[in-house]
Amino acid sequence: MADPEPPYLQKLKSIPKQPFLFGPSPIQFLPRLSESLSPNHTVRIWAKRDDCNSGLAYGGNKIRKLEYLVADALAQNATHLVSVGGIQSNHTRAVTAAAAATGLHAVTVQQKWVPISPPLYDRTGNILLSRLMGGDVRLNDEGFSIQHRDATKAAMSDVVKAGGRPYYVPAGASDHPLGGLGFVGFVVELAAQERELGVFFETLVVCSVTGSSHAGLIVGAVAEGRHRRIIGIDASGKPVETKAQVTRIARDTAKLLDPGLEIPDEAVVLDERFHEGVYGVPGEGTLEAMRFVAGLEALITDPVYEGKTGGISRSSDIF
């Protein structure tokens, strides 16, 4: 007879989610990167390709998190998802995609999180895709912050005045009671794939800005009790704020899943070496890391998140 599932897993499975993912995201071994960084073959580097996880407007980590938030929005009979991000936000694109796929409307406040303004910056890329999917895109001059914003309150009020029922999705789908659940599920999913592959990934590296991807991984790792190490790479340029938010989200998520599940201080690891001082702008270290990984594996990373996370691949202390 199989052992009963632990309480955190029973609770996680009981929380409704809207199915947006294809299934488990693929795991890719990176042989040339592994050989380059560890010629003696003591380290093998893999990527879990959550950039390939869904058919909703290119997928990504936000879609995994939005499965829970959108299910909650639908249960509350919401008509609109209201959220916030930078002008070229992956998150607001994902929110708009999730809204379109479920018959909801999206209102996204797009702010000047990145201190650059090249030609057509507010007309191409992610913001263009949001408009293409029917999103109500509202430009706003406020700068970067991982905190809740007054501009979203105004957007929520506008929806109510028009007779709608708004549902608030915070930046990154993070600072929300359900924000950490997607990446607790990621760890459960990963463990099943490890059993199939016959491997154990003792170290997971993830970018950390608004914090719930990082926090969810921490909760999943602590809950499974296999001494898995989670390393967050700060890309916010505000590591004190980010670490505090990661810690709070992790502990709130753990309490939701199992009141007896404690997240110790030492479980929250945030590497501050690669943010290059500002959110959204790549320095030469980020560009070098992007070229390095792309040239070896044809693995394309972005300059805001994954590229800065890739900086640790050039640092020997992780090995």
Active site residues: 89
Strand order in the sheet with 80-86: 136-140, 105-111, 80-86, 166-169
φ/ψ of residue 111, rounded to 5:
-110, 170
Helix (H, G, I), strand (E, B) or coil at 271: strand
Distance, C-alpha 295 to centroid of its chain: 25
Cα atoms found within 13 Å of the Cα of residue 252, Cβ hemisphere only: 17
- Note whether 233 and 267 are within 8 A (CB): no
3-state SS class at 138: strand
DSSP letters for 177-234: TTTTHHHHHHHHHHHHHHHHHT----EEEEEESS-HHHHHHHHHHHHHTS--EEEEEE
> 161: which 2 tokens?
């005045």
3-class DSSP string for 47-103: EECHHHCECCCCCCHHHHHHHHHHHHHHHCCCCEEEEEEECCCHHHHHHHHHHHHHC
Point out which residues pair with 80 in neighbouring strands: 105, 166
Q: What are residue 81's DSSP bridge partners?
A: 106, 167
Contact status, residue 69 vs residue 78, Cβ threshold 8 Å: no
Q: Which amino acid is at 249?
A: I
Between CA 288 and CA 296 the distance in angstroms is 12
Which H or E run includes 114?
none
